[in-house]
Structure 1
Amino acid sequence: MDQVNWGIIGCGNVTEVKSGPAFNKVENSKLVAVMRRNAELAADYASRHNVPKWYADADELINDPDVNAVYIATPPDAHEALAFKAMQAGKPVYIEKPMGRNAAECDRINAESERTGVPVYVAYYRRALDYFLKVKELIDQKVIGDIRYIDICLQWQPYEEETGANPKPRWRVDPAVSGGGHFHDLASHQFDFLEFALGPIKSARGFARNQAGLYEADDIVVANFEFESGILGKGSWCYTIDKGQREDKAQLVGSKGRITFSFFEKFDIIVETGEHTEKLNIPYPQHVQQPLIDLIVRDLRGEGKSPSTGQTGVRANRIMDWITQEQ
Structure 2
Amino acid sequence: MKLEKVRWGIIGCGNVTEVKSGPAFQKVKNSELVAVMRRNGELAKDYAERHNVPKWYDDADALIQDPEVDAVYIATPPGSHKEYTLKVAAAGKPVYVEKPMAIDFEECNDMIAACKAAGVPLYVAYYRRAQPRFLKIKELLNRKAIGDVRFVSSTQYQKTADEVKKGEELPWRLQPAMSGGGLFYDLASHTLDILDFLLGPIKDVHGIASNQAGYYQAEDIVTGTYRFDSGVHGVGNWCFAAFENVDVNEIVGSEGKITFSTFGDDPVVLTTAAGEQQWKFERPQHIQQPLVTMMVEELTGEDTKSPSTGENGARANWVLDKLGKH
**TM-score normalised by structure 2 residue count:** 0.97
In the alignment, structure 1 residue 288 sits paired with structure 2 residue 287: yes
In the alignment, structure 1 residue 306 sits paired with structure 2 residue 306: yes
Question: Is the Cα–Cα contact under 8 Å of residues 11 and 72 in structure 2 kept in the other structure?
Answer: yes
Give, in angstroms, the shift of residue 92 of structure 1: 0.6
CA distance in 1, matches of 2:226, 2:143: 24
2:320 aligned residue:
320
Q: Per the alignment, in what secondary structure is the counterpart of residue 170 of structure 2? A: coil
Deviations 1:98-144 (A, max 9, x none): 10000000000001111111111000001100011111111111111
Question: Is the Cα–Cα contact under 8 Å of residues 267 and 283 in structure 1 kept in the other structure?
Answer: no
Q: Percent identity?
A: 53
Q: Per the alignment, in what secondary structure is the counterpart of residue 250 of structure 1? A: strand
1:34 aligned residue:
36
Give, in angstroms, the shift of residue 275 of structure 1: 4.6
2:235 aligned residue:
234
**TM-score normalised by structure 1 residue count:** 0.97
Supply the AA of the counterpart residue of 1:218. E
1:12 aligned residue:
14
Deviations 1:118-174 (A, max 9, x none): 11100000110001111111111111111110000000111232112x422200010
Give, in angstroms, the shift of residue 325 of structure 1: 4.0
2:97 aligned residue:
95
Task: Within 5 Å, give how 1:104-115 maps onto structure 2.
Answer: 104-115=106-117
Alignment match of 1:63 (pick from 62, 65, 83): 65
1:21 aligned residue:
23
CA distance in 2, matches of 1:215, 1:283: 36
**Equivalences, count:** 323
RMSD: 1.0
1:198 aligned residue:
199
Deviations 1:231-262 (A, max 9, x none): 000000000111xx310000111111111100
Supply the AA of the counterpart residue of 2:226. F
Supply the AA of the counterpart residue of 1:172. R
Question: Is the Cα–Cα contact under 8 Å of residues 267 and 280 in structure 2 kept in the other structure?
Answer: yes
1:135 aligned residue:
137
Question: Is the Cα–Cα contact under 8 Å of residues 267 and 284 in structure 1 kept in the other structure?
Answer: no
Task: Within 5 Å, give how 1:124-203 maps onto structure 2.
Answer: 124-164=126-166, 166-203=167-204
CA distance in 1, matches of 2:70, 2:23: 18
Deviations 1:66-105 (A, max 9, x none): 1010000000010001011111011111000010000000
Task: Within 5 Å, give how 1:212-227 maps onto structure 2.
Answer: 212-227=213-228
Gaps of at least 5 residues in structure 1 are none
Supply the AA of the counterpart residue of 2:33. L
Deviations 1:176-216 (A, max 9, x none): 11000111011111111111111111111100100011111
Give, in angstroms, the shift of residue 22 of structure 1: 0.1
